[in-house]
């Protein structure tokens, strides 16, 4: 009976978290779909031709607007690189498209507090800057040439078909004219549903894992693991261990936010939470994809550079937010387990679920089902990848 109660408790936590974030996810993916519908991938490649600060800022902005699951973001970054985008700029785009997106900020605010949203959108650019500096200092031309040769082999990773699709609006005209057309409605619906399909598995796994860990792992374990009895040690340990926990969690994209809630309640430092959330791009399955995309040496280089950038960003956030008094108290942290109640969340969920239903109907009626079957298809052939930019 106690085992059944534990399972029920874990599912209750997962269900409550799901209900809390449903409307925010729909809103975030809807807004991202609007942007992706009007911005062509060829435009993105053209804007990412070098690694100057201005180009990296553009890459971050385009990535933030082009919300993607981690697997799709990694596949899209390689596609951009093969078509001529600068490698560092493609990596900046990849980081931003999973860590600087609207839906992530909304979910962090709902489950953890606005301070975490601010930390995420402050730490993301810091991580990109540190990554770019590390790439400039240590990424040699020989390693980059090897990565390009491996990329042009076109080995499959995950979400290749999704990354190769350009679902932007084909017709000409102003932003509003294109968006409000029938083609615009169709394009938005296709991007919306495809992004949901790409992220759904990781989101479900993350919610179930968070529910299970919250219900079954005692707080005493986390307090010991994160050195909660030693404030300075906890702050030094958090940003180092956060990404490593993410590597072995196998959960990426927005799916790692529910786990972040559990870790924060368990005692990980503020900077450790931020570093953990950033580390969706170095989980074990994605490291294997880097190996296929760019070769083993480049995969190790990306792991080292990303890990250092994530940990360093975590330390900066810990220092700055702690100094400004913006780190919330752990006493206010609460894992949702109250189920469904008639409040603003319920009404927002109803409204946005209706919006999602309208978009799904449009998706199905305009041939979207065939696109779903192509999501994990083969990457674009090398002879279609276009020209290359050789600078870092």
Q: For 332-370, what is each residue's pLDDT tens digit? A: 666 666 666 667 788 999 999 999 999 999 999 988 887
Q: Name the strand (E) or helix (H) holding 92.
A: helix 87-99
pLDDT for 172: 67
Question: How far are the Cα atoms of 82, 130, 143, 362 from residue 136, in angstroms, in the given order?
Answer: 20, 10, 12, 46
Average pLDDT across the chain, whole number = 83
- pLDDT for residue 318 is more than 90: yes
> If you count DSSP H runs as helices and E runs as strands, how many of each does the chain have, helices first?
19, 0
Cβ-Cβ contacts under 8 Å for 316 (sequence gap 6 or more): 123, 126, 271
What pTM was computed for the model?
A: 0.81
Cβ 286 vs Cβ 70: under 8 Å: yes
- pLDDT for residue 285 is more than 50: yes
Question: How many of the other CB atoms lie within 10 Å of CB of 286?
Answer: 25
What are the start-end ranges of the H helices in 154-226?
160-164, 175-179, 182-216, 219-225
pLDDT for 166: 59
- pLDDT for residue 388 is more than 90: no
């Amino acid at each position: 009976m106690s085992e059944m109660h534990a399972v029920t408790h874990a599912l209750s936590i997962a269900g409550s978290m799901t209900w809390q974030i449903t409307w925010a996810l729909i809103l975030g993916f809807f807004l991202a779909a609007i942007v992706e519908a009007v911005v062509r991938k060829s435009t993105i490649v053209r804007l990412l031709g070098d690694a100057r600060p201005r180009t990296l800022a553009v890459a971050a902005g385009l990535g933030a607007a082009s919300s993607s699951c981690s697997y799709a973001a990694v596949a899209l970054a390689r596609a951009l690189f093969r078509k001529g985008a600068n490698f560092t700029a493609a990596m900046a785009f990849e980081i931003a498209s999973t860590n600087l997106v609207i839906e992530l900020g909304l979910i962090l605010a709902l489950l953890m507090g606005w301070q975490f949203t601010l930390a995420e959108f402050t730490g993301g650019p810091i991580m990109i800057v540190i990554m770019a500096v590390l790439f400039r200092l240590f990424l040699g031309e020989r390693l980059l040439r090897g990565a390009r040769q491996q990329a042009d082999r076109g080995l499959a990773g995950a979400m290749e078909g999704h990354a190769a699709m350009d679902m932007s609006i084909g017709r000409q005209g102003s932003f509003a004219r294109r968006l409000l057309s029938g083609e615009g409605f169709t394009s938005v619906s296709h991007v919306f549903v495809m992004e949901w399909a790409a992220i759904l598995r990781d989101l479900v796994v993350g919610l179930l894992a968070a529910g299970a860990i919250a219900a079954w792992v005692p707080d005493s374990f986390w307090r010991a693991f994160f050195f909660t009895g030693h404030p300075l040690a906890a702050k030094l340990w958090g940003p180092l261990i956060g990404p490593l926990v993410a590597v072995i969690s196998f959960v990426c994209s927005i799916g790692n936010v529910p786990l972040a809630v559990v870790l924060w309640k368990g005692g990980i430092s503020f900077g450790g939470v931020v570093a953990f959330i950033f580390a969706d791009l170095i989980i074990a399955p994605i490291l294997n994809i880097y190996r296929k995309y760019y070769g083993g040496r480049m995969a190790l280089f990306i792991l080292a550079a990303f890990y250092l950038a994530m940990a360093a960003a975590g330390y900066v956030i810990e220092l700055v937010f702690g100094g400004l008094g913006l780190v919330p108290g752990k006493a206010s942290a609460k894992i949702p387990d109250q189920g469904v109640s008639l409040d603003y969340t319920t009404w927002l969920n109803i409204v946005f679920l209706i919006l999602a239903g309208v978009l799904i109907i449009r998706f199905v009626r305009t041939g979207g089902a065939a696109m779903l079957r192509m999501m994990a298809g083969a990457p674009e052939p090398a002879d279609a990848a276009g020209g290359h930019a050789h600078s870092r």
